[in-house]
Structure 1
């Protein structure tokens, strides 16, 4: 491990495990983190133990993650506070994670249609909240989607030790609650939440975020219908699909240049435009300021490509299209760091079956991701 990573690990570890009551638990936590960062291949308990103490450590590490009772929530709060103090975020990004599984016993696993893959897979589905800054993106909270089929099966629920207060929820509710839990009471800075998640119902997600008064920027499909409220539009006062509204705004496009963290090379060129819209009818008067409850619909398109391309809905009505465009690229930053760092520290590698074990592993893997991301090395694969 690079020296920079060692320094970040020591600094983070001193804050991360304060809530653990026993010194042996804190020691096991540090050993698990070291194993996630240094073990080769899949981050199974056996491979992690091989780095930290061999067979003698395997049983104790297994118990620490899968059989112990320590609460992961304070550890996640400590991680989030350390990350925001070290690399103040510009946005919170909601990110979905599919975890393919071969069997049927891992908590939450079932046959699911995954839009990004275009097929049905046997998998767990989780939604994460990432703190994104110019320096790094780090996952700080997670919520595992559990369907009625899982929670209504008393036998499976008992085997996975799912707490009694966990109730069924839709993927949209799951994603929203992951963020709202993070934003409520953790003492973190208020920043826009950015989401580009195909598995959720975006109008419902927008409604949940608006109800919580959370600033947001959410990618929407072209068929979502909104009320055109911008005085510059000929179709103002009508309820139309988003793609039709933005086709009417073609003449409002302006050239934009951005750097895409998800792609190699230099600057990208394209066009962007933003117009006022509403989820309900609103009066249209030329020259008036945005009315309470109005939103902005942002369209982004590449040079030589069909218009509109990406469509985003936001309540950041005073932001310019260029500012909003920069925020959309935080999603690409998370995508890149997920494949470049999170996958390599074993975020999806937990092989146990229990609800608590899954949450403890993913909490520690998120902390390992933070060490790698904040350790001063651009790519984790170049550091280990």
Structure 2
């Protein structure tokens, strides 16, 4: 039930201060409270009936799907709060998969999920997670529109997709989200950890991160080009790993790393030159050295994963900690989805999708900041000047 002046009300008042209408701020608190307190499926109807004791789902649905409030200042405030409290050590990028039964929700199509390794009817998105020893929190989101939506004017109109929103590569969306964090919100840059294995554009991802001056650890596969010899021959990561596997004394076993029995090697990819038509291809061609951390499988010479990083001077334990944070982020995102209703969104609009994931971030941040181990490191949100909360009055949006 709604409780006047409790800490969730104070938290929401601070978070939603950018919303121009009082009613928007009140409905924002109702929705976040529902995501926090309502057990099981967190549908709009169940939230309104359980918290308000009456059917107010039409008004709540309107707030999420149609109301004009801007989600960006809310995300910025969440990023500020969790940045102070968590002291994150990485921004881990994860794919968001939201299965759907119909085809009219924004961005829905038969799409391949890298996470699940199969094609399904779903929405796909990206989330940037701030991850540290104290926990994990989503700080920015992007919806990936399929190419089929670019020319489907009927579905675009029904879902109110802005004209400028078109299909683009996932790395383009990632760069946009990172630029918003670092340039727009002036968040302290963190090492970007992202799985690009299986992506034909892993090189473009790495170059984009380096252009922005961001530290990174990018998981790649064996076909990724890493060097070009003077003869013009391209050396792939798989070629380099095959040579490393034949070497003696290069494999180590991590202690307290990403998992028990983590056998790894590190190798340097030297900066290489190159000129002519082939210059500029392969990540080894930029004038800098990179390090590769390789996790070996149980079979001789088999590779479980390989990560390229520009932190060539970093100690191996620090790099292994980054990889451990990546594994943790995936598990935390799964728990977040279950606890905070990420997959329970019933709306169909572009605006509604972004509103919902932002409010999910708010609900998760509230839970996270209440943990004793986290609360000690955060400032207290300011109380609203009026002292009024959603418990005082809930009205329909005009």
CA contact (8 A) 2:196 2:220 kept: no
Change (3 A) 1:87 1:221: same
| Pick aligned residue for 1:352 from 343, 347, 351 | 347
SS of residue paired to 1:309: strand
SS of residue paired to 2:124: strand
C-alpha root-mean-square deviation of aligned residues, in Å? 2.8
Matched residues in 2 for 1:161 and 1:167: separation? 13
Matched residues in 2 for 1:320 and 1:374: separation? 31
Matched residues in 2 for 1:197 and 1:123: separation? 20
CA contact (8 A) 1:254 1:273 kept: no
Unaligned segments of structure 1, at least 5 residues: 230-234, 283-290, 379-384
Normalising by structure 2, what TM-score? Answer: 0.82
Change (3 A) 1:33 1:322: same
SS of residue paired to 1:332: helix
Partner in structure 1 of residue 255 of structure 2:
257
Partner in structure 1 of residue 267 of structure 2:
274
Does residue 166 in structure 1 map to residue 157 in structure 2? no
- What do the CA deviations read for 1:210-239 (whole angstroms, capped 9, x no partner)? 22222111100012121189xxxxx99963
Map of 1:307-322 to 2, 5 A cutoff? 307-322=302-317
- What do the CA deviations read for 1:226-283 (whole angstroms, capped 9, x no partner)? 1189xxxxx99963221221232344333322244xx7xxx5542332323447559x
Partner in structure 2 of residue 285 of structure 1:
none
Matched residues in 1 for 2:270 and 2:312: separation? 10
Matched residues in 2 for 1:306 and 1:248: separation? 9
CA contact (8 A) 1:160 1:354 kept: yes
Change (3 A) 1:269 1:104: closer
Matched residues in 2 for 1:27 and 1:305: separation? 60
Offset of residue 47 of structure 1: 1.6
Matched residues in 2 for 1:124 and 1:45: separation? 20
CA contact (8 A) 1:136 1:374 kept: no
Matched residues in 2 for 1:11 and 1:256: separation? 44
Map of 1:58-137 to 2, 5 A cutoff? 58-137=57-136
Matched residues in 2 for 1:68 and 1:186: separation? 23
Unaligned segments of structure 2, at least 5 residues: 276-285, 374-398
Q: Which has the higher contact order (CA 8 A, sep 6+)?
A: 2
Offset of residue 182 of structure 1: 2.1
Partner in structure 2 of residue 221 of structure 1:
221
Matched residues in 1 for 2:10 and 2:232: separation? 56
Offset of residue 83 of structure 1: 0.6
Change (3 A) 1:10 1:207: same
SS of residue paired to 2:255: strand
CA contact (8 A) 1:228 1:245 kept: no
Offset of residue 314 of structure 1: 1.1
Partner in structure 1 of residue 280 of structure 2:
none
Normalising by structure 1, what TM-score? Answer: 0.84
Partner in structure 1 of residue 281 of structure 2:
none
Out of 191-200 and 119-128, give the one that drifted further.
191-200
Partner in structure 2 of residue 207 of structure 1:
207
Partner in structure 1 of residue 324 of structure 2:
329
- What do the CA deviations read for 1:340-364 (whole angstroms, capped 9, x no partner)? 2232211122111100011001100
Change (3 A) 1:279 1:185: farther
CA contact (8 A) 1:83 1:138 kept: yes
CA contact (8 A) 1:217 1:314 kept: yes
What is the number of equivalent residue pairs in this alignment? 356
CA contact (8 A) 1:271 1:302 kept: no
